[in-house]
Amino acid sequence: MKTTVAILTATSVAALSAPAMAQDATDGAFTGPRVEAIVGYDVSKAGSSIDDDTNDDNDQSIEGINYGIGVGYDINAGGIVLGLEGEYTDSSADVDYDQADPELFGLGDVNAGRDLYVGARVGVLAAPDLLVYAKGGYTNARYNLNGSFDGEEYRAKIDTDGFRVGAGVEYALDTNTFAKVEYRYSNYSSAELDFENDRTDVEIGEIDTDRHQVMVGFGYRF
């Protein structure tokens, strides 16, 4: 009888201590500065204001792999997480340009360049080690323009300004490391044409370019 009681007692203690040990492993998670590597799927396309329903070629998208780094700082305020963040990414997306039958998505014969983002996020702890969050902020994306004039090739950059919103989940692997998955949507509404030489930059004015990304990340929290 004493042996049975001892076994039951040990089993109960182990069952109660397992969640506590798991929680101890993630105590302090989602708080403090962080750095991360991110990669995912990236697609840019013409926005709704310039869609041409009679010609699908005017609403082509460019697709590729988006990759880069991010930094941030979070505060865990008792189950509500508030944070600031920034990113630098690049992309392999580009136009498959055919001069005889160009299928352009709104900005011409371009390939996606670097993208800068700064914003904030707010989340709730669905579990001690799982954060569900929404985010939003400012993004400045570059599209590299390829062209020629009088048989001479030239290069220019289209700098675009817009906003980004998104949502995701982040899982604390332990106190210091984490993995995440997120979706984000960006819209660029103004642009400037920057030339490589001393030529004056040109304001393009209003544009409408949509960008959709699904990203995964792995990071370290200090």
The per-residue pLDDT for 73 is 98
Helix, strand, coil shares, percent, the chain, to 5: 15, 65, 20
State residue 192 phi and psi, 5-degree precision.
-135, 140
**Distance of alpha carbon 136 from the chain centroid:** 10
pLDDT along the chain (222 residues), means of 10: 42 42 58 97 83 56 95 94 98 79 73 96 96 98 80 80 98 95 96 77 84 97 94
Fold classification of 28-221 is Porin (2.40.160)
CA distance 2 to 191: 79
CA distance 4 to 9: 9
The per-residue pLDDT for 48 is 72
CA distance 142 to 145: 9
The per-residue pLDDT for 109 is 83
Query: 205 Cβ partners below 8 Å, 6+ apart?
Result: 190, 191
The per-residue pLDDT for 85 is 98
CB 157 within 8 A of CB 189: no
